[in-house]
Amino acid sequence: MPRRARYDPGIIITHSATATRMQLLYFILAAYGMTFMLVYGSIFNHIRPRCGTYCGLGKLFHCTLCMGFWVGVFLWGVSPYTELFNFDYTIVNAFICGCISAGTSYFLSAIVDDEGISVIHKGGKDNAEMETTACPPMLQG
Protein backbone atom coordinates (compact mmCIF):
# COMPACT_ATOMS: atom_id res chain seq x y z
CA MET A 1 0.00 0.00 0.00
CA PRO A 2 1.52 3.39 -1.00
CA ARG A 3 2.34 5.85 1.74
CA ARG A 4 0.56 9.18 1.80
CA ALA A 5 2.59 12.35 1.74
CA ARG A 6 2.77 13.96 5.14
CA TYR A 7 1.42 17.50 5.43
CA ASP A 8 4.11 20.01 6.39
CA PRO A 9 2.57 23.29 7.68
CA GLY A 10 5.91 25.08 7.19
CA ILE A 11 5.71 24.86 3.40
CA ILE A 12 3.36 27.32 1.76
CA ILE A 13 2.86 27.09 -1.98
CA THR A 14 1.58 30.42 -3.24
CA HIS A 15 1.62 29.91 -7.01
CA SER A 16 1.87 27.05 -9.39
CA ALA A 17 4.48 27.11 -12.12
CA THR A 18 1.78 27.90 -14.69
CA ALA A 19 0.51 30.86 -12.65
CA THR A 20 4.05 32.20 -12.31
CA ARG A 21 4.61 31.93 -16.07
CA MET A 22 1.33 33.70 -16.72
CA GLN A 23 2.29 36.52 -14.36
CA LEU A 24 5.56 36.93 -16.26
CA LEU A 25 3.70 36.94 -19.58
CA TYR A 26 1.24 39.56 -18.29
CA PHE A 27 4.15 41.68 -17.06
CA ILE A 28 5.97 41.44 -20.41
CA LEU A 29 2.85 42.29 -22.42
CA ALA A 30 1.95 45.21 -20.14
CA ALA A 31 5.51 46.53 -20.28
CA TYR A 32 5.68 46.25 -24.07
CA GLY A 33 2.29 47.89 -24.53
CA MET A 34 3.10 50.78 -22.22
CA THR A 35 6.57 51.26 -23.72
CA PHE A 36 5.25 51.18 -27.28
CA MET A 37 2.55 53.74 -26.47
CA LEU A 38 4.97 56.10 -24.73
CA VAL A 39 7.62 55.92 -27.47
CA TYR A 40 5.50 55.70 -30.63
CA GLY A 41 1.91 56.62 -29.69
CA SER A 42 0.57 59.64 -31.54
CA ILE A 43 -1.48 60.58 -28.48
CA PHE A 44 1.79 61.60 -26.78
CA ASN A 45 3.24 63.56 -29.73
CA HIS A 46 2.42 66.94 -28.17
CA ILE A 47 3.95 66.17 -24.77
CA ARG A 48 6.85 63.89 -25.79
CA PRO A 49 10.09 65.91 -25.60
CA ARG A 50 12.42 66.11 -28.59
CA CYS A 51 15.62 64.04 -28.69
CA GLY A 52 18.09 66.81 -27.87
CA THR A 53 16.13 68.49 -25.08
CA TYR A 54 16.40 68.32 -21.30
CA CYS A 55 20.18 67.74 -21.25
CA GLY A 56 19.83 64.58 -23.31
CA LEU A 57 16.91 63.11 -21.34
CA GLY A 58 14.66 63.66 -24.35
CA LYS A 59 16.31 60.59 -25.92
CA LEU A 60 14.66 58.49 -23.22
CA PHE A 61 11.26 59.09 -24.82
CA HIS A 62 12.45 57.91 -28.25
CA CYS A 63 14.27 54.72 -27.23
CA THR A 64 12.37 51.50 -26.48
CA LEU A 65 15.32 50.09 -24.54
CA CYS A 66 15.60 53.14 -22.25
CA MET A 67 11.88 53.71 -21.79
CA GLY A 68 11.32 49.97 -21.39
CA PHE A 69 13.62 49.89 -18.36
CA TRP A 70 11.76 52.68 -16.56
CA VAL A 71 8.39 51.20 -17.50
CA GLY A 72 9.51 47.93 -15.89
CA VAL A 73 10.53 49.75 -12.72
CA PHE A 74 7.18 51.58 -12.73
CA LEU A 75 5.25 48.31 -13.14
CA TRP A 76 7.27 46.78 -10.30
CA GLY A 77 6.23 49.76 -8.17
CA VAL A 78 2.53 49.36 -8.90
CA SER A 79 2.50 45.55 -8.75
CA PRO A 80 0.83 45.41 -5.29
CA TYR A 81 -2.14 47.29 -6.76
CA THR A 82 -2.86 44.78 -9.53
CA GLU A 83 -3.84 41.14 -9.60
CA LEU A 84 -2.03 40.44 -12.88
CA PHE A 85 1.45 40.20 -11.37
CA ASN A 86 3.02 40.65 -7.94
CA PHE A 87 6.67 41.20 -7.07
CA ASP A 88 8.41 41.57 -3.73
CA TYR A 89 9.56 45.09 -2.90
CA THR A 90 13.33 44.78 -3.16
CA ILE A 91 15.79 46.89 -5.12
CA VAL A 92 17.01 43.75 -6.89
CA ASN A 93 13.49 42.97 -8.12
CA ALA A 94 13.12 46.56 -9.35
CA PHE A 95 16.33 46.21 -11.36
CA ILE A 96 15.37 42.77 -12.72
CA CYS A 97 11.88 43.96 -13.71
CA GLY A 98 13.45 46.94 -15.48
CA CYS A 99 15.87 44.68 -17.35
CA ILE A 100 13.18 42.19 -18.37
CA SER A 101 10.97 45.00 -19.57
CA ALA A 102 13.78 46.76 -21.46
CA GLY A 103 14.97 43.60 -23.19
CA THR A 104 11.58 42.31 -24.23
CA SER A 105 10.30 45.75 -25.27
CA TYR A 106 13.39 46.33 -27.42
CA PHE A 107 13.20 42.84 -28.95
CA LEU A 108 9.47 43.02 -29.69
CA SER A 109 9.67 46.54 -31.12
CA ALA A 110 12.51 45.38 -33.39
CA ILE A 111 10.42 42.59 -34.92
CA VAL A 112 6.90 44.10 -34.81
CA ASP A 113 5.82 47.39 -36.35
CA ASP A 114 2.55 48.98 -37.51
CA GLU A 115 2.34 46.71 -40.55
CA GLY A 116 2.93 43.51 -38.54
CA ILE A 117 6.09 41.44 -38.29
CA SER A 118 8.95 43.21 -40.05
CA VAL A 119 11.64 41.33 -41.89
CA ILE A 120 14.83 43.17 -42.79
CA HIS A 121 17.33 41.42 -45.00
CA LYS A 122 20.97 42.15 -44.19
CA GLY A 123 21.87 42.36 -47.89
CA GLY A 124 19.54 45.33 -48.42
CA LYS A 125 20.01 48.92 -47.35
CA ASP A 126 22.77 49.91 -44.99
CA ASN A 127 21.66 50.90 -41.47
CA ALA A 128 22.73 54.50 -42.14
CA GLU A 129 20.43 54.67 -45.19
CA MET A 130 17.34 53.24 -43.45
CA GLU A 131 14.65 55.68 -42.43
CA THR A 132 13.78 55.92 -38.77
CA THR A 133 11.44 58.04 -36.69
CA ALA A 134 13.56 57.72 -33.57
CA CYS A 135 16.69 59.60 -32.57
CA PRO A 136 20.01 58.86 -34.26
CA PRO A 137 21.40 55.45 -33.27
CA MET A 138 22.07 55.50 -29.55
CA LEU A 139 23.34 51.98 -29.08
CA GLN A 140 26.29 52.34 -31.43
CA GLY A 141 29.59 53.37 -29.85
DSSP 7: P
Rg of the chain over CA atoms, in angstroms? 20
Classify burial at 114, counting beta carbons within 10 Å of its beta carbon; exposed 0-12, middle 13-18, buried 19 or more: exposed
Helix axis angle, 17-40 to 64-78, nearest 10°: 130
- Is 55 inside a domain boundary? yes
Instruction: With respect to residue 8, please indicate whether it lies within any of the assigned structural domains.
Output: no
Residue 105 lies in a domain: yes
98-116: per-residue pLDDT in tens? 999 999 999 998 888 777 7
What percentage of the chain reaches a pLDDT higher than 70?
Answer: 74
- Whether residue 141 is predicted with pLDDT greater than 50 in this model: the reply is no
Q: Is the pLDDT of residue 45 over 70?
A: yes
Q: What is the pTM of this model?
A: 0.70
66-87 pLDDT, tens digit per residue, is 999 999 999 999 998 988 888 8
Residue 77 is assigned to a structural domain of this protein: yes
Residue 135 CA to residue 62 CA, distance in Å, equals: 6
Mean pLDDT for the stretch of residues 37-41: 88
